[in-house]
Amino acid sequence: MSGISLTNWQSSGHRRRRPNYLHVTVGVGVAVTMFLAYSLLHCMPNEPALVSIAVFNFLFIFLIFPLEGSLLRKVFLLLSGNIVGLAWYLVQLSFEAASAHYLEMGAFKVIYVVMGPIIDLIWIVSFWSLGLSFLASTQSRNEKEKEGIS
């Protein structure tokens, strides 16, 4: 047993930080406030839409809020995601009303039941990825600026 030191290659430049619990707490607070607001304003979406929004909030708050980055930006992205979720719910309601009026309700229901959840998930995945992308690109820009200064 002889040769190079173990520490030659173990330093890693990858991102690894302590989770930001304060941001998570704020995120939970924002999400709870939003759900209370839906309930008080009597605009609570139907159950599948509510589950979609809850899943989005859970993944966003517990995976993206603890990361480095501006709290305001994170809250803005969380609120935007919720608005997109609600907008999708309203679009879906409009389609439902239109199809009930002009077509047979059954036709819409089949499409909705089979495809609806997929489309639900597509907005969740897209918006979650978008949020992470914003955060990562800002962080990367800041790191480059810091490197430039030093």
Partner 1 sequence: MILILHLTLILLATFISAYLIRHYIFTLTALYHQERPPHHTPHDMVYQPKVSVLIPARNEENVIGRILHRMTELTYPKEKLEVIVIDDASTDQTGEIAEDFAKKHEYIRVAHRKPEDGGKGKPAALNHGLKHAIGEIIYCFDADYYPQRDILEKLTIYFADPKVGAVQGRVTVLNEPNTLVTRLVALERIGGYRVDQLARDNLGLIPQFGGTVGGFRRSLIEFLGGWDANMLAEDTDLTFKTYLAGYKVRYVNEAECYEEAVENWRSYWRQRCRWAKGHMQCAFRHLWPLIKSKNLRLREKTDGFLLLNVYFVPILVGLAWILGATLCLVHSSSWITSLWVSIPIFVYSSVGNFAPFFEVGIGAYLDERVRIYWLIPLLFLTFLFNMLICTKALIDLCLSKITGKKQQPWAKTLHNGRGNRCLNAPRRHPLKDIDI
- In the complex, which residues of this chain contact partner 1 (CB under 8 A)? 1-10, 12-16, 18-19, 46-48, 51-52, 55, 59, 63, 66-67, 109-110, 113-114, 117-118, 120-122, 124-126, 128-130, 132-133, 135-137, 140
Q: How far is the CB of 92 from partner 1 (least distance, A)?
A: 12
Q: How far is the CB of 85 from partner 1 (least distance, A)?
A: 13
What count of residues does the chain have?
150
Which one, 30 or 124, has the nearer CB to partner 1? 124
The answer to whether 23 touches 66, Cβ cutoff 8 Å, is yes
Which backbone phi and psi does 127 adopt, to 5 degrees? -70, -35
d(CA 50, CA 34): 12
Which one, 33 or 100, has the nearer CB to partner 1? 100
Beta strand segments in the chain, E: none
Q: How far is the CB of 51 from partner 1 (least distance, A)?
A: 5
Which one, 3 or 148, has the nearer CB to partner 1? 3
Tokens of 46: 């139907």
Which one, 33 or 113, has the nearer CB to partner 1? 113
Q: How far is the CB of 28 from partner 1 (least distance, A)?
A: 16
Measured between alpha carbons, how far is residue 66 from residues 25, 122, 142 in Å? 9, 23, 18
Which one, 19 or 29, has the nearer CB to partner 1? 19
Q: How far is the CB of 104 from partner 1 (least distance, A)?
A: 14
Tokens of 143: 């790191």
Cα 122-124-130 angle, rounded to 5 deg: 100
